[in-house]
Amino acid sequence: MAPQVIGNFGKIKASMDKKALWEGIITRLSQTIGKSHILTFFKDSAILDNANGVLTIGLPTVMGLNFIKERLEVKLREVIAEVIPDVREVKYEVKSALLDEENPAKIDEKVIKELGTVKTMRKAPNKQEVIMQDGMRSKMFNPKYTLDSFIPGNENRLVHAACKAVAARPGSIYNPLFVFGGVGLGKTHLLQGTGLEIQRNYPGKNVVYMTSERFMNEVIEAIGNRHTKSFKDRYRNLDCLIIDDIQFFGNKTTTQQEFFHTFNELYDAGKQIILSSDRPPNELAELERRLTSRFGMGMVVELLFPDFETRLAILNSKCQEHQVLIDPEVLEFIAFNVNTSVREMVGVLVKAIAESELTETTPTIKSVAETIKRLNHNIEIKGGAALNMAEVSRKLVVRTSDDVIDLVANYYKITKSELISEDRRKEFMVPRQICMYLIRQILNHSYETIGESFSGRNHTTVMHAVNKIEKEIQADDRIKRDLNALRKEIGV
């Protein structure tokens, strides 16, 4: 299914109001240079133009312009690059007209006053929520779920860009923002990331994130305790309401009625509403038509399953997060074979990492295939050939030194001739010594017999290799992991 868009998307950066964009930049900048500098030098500033990669900033006085260029320009440019990455050049112009209190272009005085004003919050008893000063509860945002950590790929650039635009100017760009897609594709990540960025851009805004179940429970509790007025008052005072899995409102008449009124109040007040569902609004048959029609008033975007390259990028990102190195072919195997849910794909990787750490082995295609099998996934080898899971589960039977040589050569991705050659480069010598060690340990061949399999080496060379690996096992974690992985492949 192609991405669905309802509303005028256009080019997000180009369509954003210059005043709103500047307010977002100044809010972000205030976290770096402090409110006092903002009040002194940016109170009457504005973006005059933003076109073709050139951003023109207007300032009311020459003194203010000089101070900013001498003292604050580096930090200002860092924030501009973060908020508007396509800006290549920043220009300044002195415009005395910005001193006019009625000038509509300059930054809103209300935004200046709210800088540094953070809503009071405290942790709720269950540690998964925060309680705001008005008693409103919100699920805690996962700090890992940022918009920058979400890897969109080609399929999801639109939905990612929409979330960035809403975070830069909540309540005026795309309202409501409705994100839909299948299970495990990253809807929660995007919703929380947008909420986190709104909090970062506008520290004074009251942002609440909750599941549809939490909202339903609050409605039931308010009715049961006859506190419907206080319930309504709390929600009407929000700046941004984010609700995950709105489809679960289906057939809940009272909940839908309360949400309908809450939606209208927030929307009319210019407050941001962000929703997610497993289906687009026009397919939510269990919801009232008056609700689904309102969901389509802003922007509706579909979150799609990422392509192979993007899945691979996600897995590499997770490896960096866990600070582990995994063979690229193993990651490719996971990306190719777990192809319905990003959450399940990452879950396979995390399980493989945990198992490798517990057993002190290195993940291999075979060990990962066994992990996928335990999770009841259908597996296909890259290229389309079916993978026989009985073969995956069966341990390799090693009867000869050639069996071990083939196994080690395949594991280290070198040829058999390179493994048994005279080449003393480390990428061949270490696998060669490990191979000799395994033949000695598993098959109990004599040093002389082993030497014959390696281009006729004498027994002292083989003995040295075996002794060296025995010592390296204690000192080198990588060799220990490789040996454990190879033993696991063999089943010993």
Residue-range definition of the domain harbouring residue 105: 12-112
**Which tens digits make up the pLDDT trace of 246-296?**
998 888 888 898 889 989 989 988 899 999 998 899 888 889 899 999 998
Residues 180 and 294 occupy one common structural domain: yes
The mean per-residue pLDDT over the stretch 346-368 comes to 83
CB atoms within 10 A of CB 330: 20
- The one-character DSSP state at 249 is G
Residues 252 and 168 occupy one common structural domain: yes
Cβ pair 434, 392 in contact under 8 A: no
The helices-and-strands tally (H runs, E runs) of the chain is 23, 11
The pLDDT value recorded for residue 391 is 44
What is the DSSP track for 269-332?
TT-EEEEEESS-GGG-TTS-HHHHHHHTTSEEEEPPPP-HHHHHHHHHHHHHHHT----HHHHH
Instruction: Pick the more confident residue, 383 or 69.
Output: 69
Cβ pair 39, 112 in contact under 8 A: yes
- Residue among 142, 47, 28, 134 nearest 93 (CA): 47
Domains: count for the chain: 4
Cβ pair 305, 278 in contact under 8 A: no
The structure tokens 């709105």 sit at 246
Angstrom distance (rounded) from CA 100 to CA 102: 5
Q: Is residue 125 one of the residues assigned to a domain?
A: no
Which of 12-21, 128-137, 307-316, 331-340 shows the lowest mean pLDDT across its residues? 128-137
- How far apart, in Å, are the Cα atoms of 390 and each of 369, 379, 386? 11, 12, 12
CATH code for position 173:
3.40.50.300
Residues 319 and 375 occupy one common structural domain: yes
Where helices occur in 338-415 by DSSP H, the ranges are 342-359, 365-374, 389-393, 401-412
Angstrom distance (rounded) from CA 34 to CA 20: 20
Angstrom distance (rounded) from CA 328 to CA 364: 10
Question: Which tokens in the block code for residue 230?
Answer: 């206080």
CA 389 to chain CA centroid, Å, is: 32
Judged against a pLDDT cut of 90, whether residue 378 lies above it is answered with: no
Judged against a pLDDT cut of 60, whether residue 379 lies above it is answered with: no
- Residue among 47, 28, 168, 24 nearest 106 (CA): 47
- The one-character DSSP state at 395 is P
Residues 266 and 144 occupy one common structural domain: yes
Residues 161 and 295 occupy one common structural domain: yes
Residues 182 and 277 occupy one common structural domain: yes
Which strands, in side-by-side order, build the sheet including 240-244?
Answer: 207-211, 240-244, 272-277, 177-180, 299-302
Judged against a pLDDT cut of 70, whether residue 389 lies above it is answered with: no
Residue 51, strand partner residues: 54
The pLDDT value recorded for residue 432 is 92
**Which tens digits make up the pLDDT trace of 427-456?**
899 999 999 999 888 888 899 999 988 988
Q: Is residue 249 one of the residues assigned to a domain?
A: yes
pTM of the entire structure?
Answer: 0.60
Judged against a pLDDT cut of 70, whether residue 393 lies above it is answered with: no
The pLDDT value recorded for residue 372 is 80
**Which tens digits make up the pLDDT trace of 239-255?**
899 999 999 888 888 88
Amino acid letter, 244: D
The pLDDT value recorded for residue 138 is 64
CATH code for position 420:
1.10.1750.10
Judged against a pLDDT cut of 70, whether residue 120 lies above it is answered with: no
Residues 406 and 387 occupy one common structural domain: no
Amino acid letter, 452: E
Residues 204 and 99 occupy one common structural domain: no
Q: Is residue 193 one of the residues assigned to a domain?
A: yes
> Which one of 343, 362, 393 terminates a domain?
393
Instruction: Pick the more confident residue, 365 or 135.
Output: 365
